[in-house]
Amino acid sequence: MQKKNWKAWLYLLPAIAFLSVFMVYPLIDVFVYSFEEGYNSASQTFWGTGLYNYSYVLHDPYFLQAVKNTFILVIITVPVSTGLALLISLGLNSIRRLRDFFQTVFFLPYVTNTLAVGMVFMILFKKTPYSDGLINLLIQFFGGQSVDFIDGPYWAKILVMCIYTVWVVMPFKILILTSALASVPQDYYNAARVDGTPPLRIFTRITLPMIAPMVFYLVITGFIGAFKAYSDEVAIFGTNLNAAGMNTIVGYVYDMLYGDSGGYPSYASAAALILFAIVLTITVINLMIGRKSTQF
């Protein structure tokens, strides 16, 4: 028996070792960093402990810009993508022909390198000396004013960012909602049809309650994912997000850590912990609302 215990721990050893070094220790360390004031990564010294790093980050205009961008992104993309995914999944569920084809196509963005495809979006939206870009030509065709979506006004950049984010997150949502819809027992629909229930009522009284837990799951993961947005923005606006005014909170953390403005792990830690606090708060609020609204 004793020998067996010893063996079990041996099996677990690699996992425990890696998790301790790269998960548990860093988790403690990030708090330590965030309270060390004036940390110098070259000499590994600091001159005090306290809340200065938090105060610095909260007063940094780049951070405030990043918070603003991130919140706009979350507030727009989560409802839009969830609603759109629901609509598309309902459509998918009601057809038989071409269904497999559509499902495959809709899933494609999930398996693509978002950095690479983001560049295609950049080209479609960008205005160059040679051409206004396809999207602008479309806008002009319909009688609108062309605008530079990549280097132009703030609202235009936000718009591109949201469009690309929605494009990227849709596959996961469609996949989850389609399988949720498929698992609603057909008997319910048959019974409703016998009673002559109108379609809208079937949707609000049968479909929606049955898939509510999954919609709710998507909203929560959607919020968390959108708060951590970063690489999609790099793909469209380039690595210097601060200059473009399009940084996100996670981008701010990484910029503080590394790159031209880097070398400040203390500020990065404080910003990361602020982000964590925001995400935790929003998730708890979501859970509280969810518990109320998914109980029937």
Partner 1 sequence: MDYEKDSLRVKRRGRVRSVITYALLGLWALIVLFPFYWMLLTSVKSYSAYNAEYIPSFFTLSPILQNYVDAFTTVNLARYFVNTVIFTLATTAIMMVVIIFAAYAFARLDFPGRDLVFGLFLSLMMIPAELVVITNFVTITNWGMRNTFWGLILPSVTSVFYIYLLKENFEQIPEELYKAAKVDGTSDLKYLFKVMLPISQPTVVTIVILKVIECWNSYVWPRLITDDETRFLVSNGIQEIRENGFGRENIPAMMAAVVVISVPLIVLFLIFRKKIMAGVSRGGTKG
Sites for partner 1 among residues 155-194 (CB under 8 A) = 167-173, 175-176, 179
Q: 38 — alpha (psi -120 to 50), left (phi > 0) or beta?
A: left
Q: Contact region for partner 1 (CB under 8 A) — 59-67, 130-138, 146-154, 288-296?
A: 130-138
Shorter beta-carbon distance to partner 1: residue 251 or 290: 251
Residue 4 interacts with partner 1 (CB under 8 A): yes or no: yes
Q: What are phi and psi of 38, to 5 degrees?
A: 65, 35
Whole-number minimum distance, CB 122 to partner 1, in Å?
8
Task: Give the total of residues touching partner 1 (CB under 8 A).
Answer: 91
Q: Which of 7, 193, 201, 205 is in the footprint of partner 1 by CB under 8 A?
A: 7
> Residues 248-277: x/- map of binding to partner 1 (CB under 8 A)?
--x--xx--xx------x--xx--xx-xx-
Q: Under 8 Å CB-to-CB from 208, ≥6 apart: which residues?
A: 215
Give backbone dihedrals phi and psi of 79, rounded to 5 degrees, phi first.
-65, -40
Single residue of 225, 233, 241, 290 touching partner 1 by CB under 8 A? 225
**Of 65 and 269, which CB lies nearer to partner 1 in the complex structure?**
269
* 48: three-class secondary structure by DSSP: strand
How many whole angstroms separate alpha carbon 165 and alpha carbon 229?
9
Q: What is the sign of the dihedral through the CA atoms of 105, 107, 109 and 111?
A: negative
Distance CA 232, CA 119 (A): 10
Q: Min. distance of Cβ 23 from partner 1 in angstroms?
A: 5
Asked if 46 is part of the footprint of partner 1 (rule: CB under 8 A), the reply reads no
Q: If binding is defined by CB under 8 A, does position 242 make contact with partner 1?
A: no
Cα–Cα distances in angstroms (integers) from residue 10 to residues 1, 18, 19, 20, 21, in the given order = 14, 13, 15, 15, 17
The residues in 86-125 that bind partner 1, with binding defined as CB under 8 A, are 87-88, 91-92, 94-95, 98, 102-117, 119-121, 123-124
Query: Which of 36, 222, 233, 242 is in the footprint of partner 1 by CB under 8 A?
Result: 222
- The beta-strand segments (E) located in the chain are 36-37, 48-49
Q: Cβ 69 to partner 1, closest distance in Å?
A: 16
Q: Kindly tell me which of 6 and 295 has the beta carbon lying closer to partner 1.
A: 6
The angle, 0 to 180 degrees and rounded to 10, between the axes of the packed helices 208-227 and 61-94 is 150
Q: What is 173-212 written as a DSSP string? A: HHHHHHHHHHTS-HHHHHHHHHTT--HHHHIIIIIHHHHH
| Interface characters, 11-40, with partner 1 (x: CB under 8 A) | xx-xxx-xx-xxxxxxx-xx--x-------
Note whether 289 binds partner 1 by CB under 8 A: no
In the complex, minimum distance from the CB of residue 273 to partner 1, in angstroms, rounded to a whole number: 7
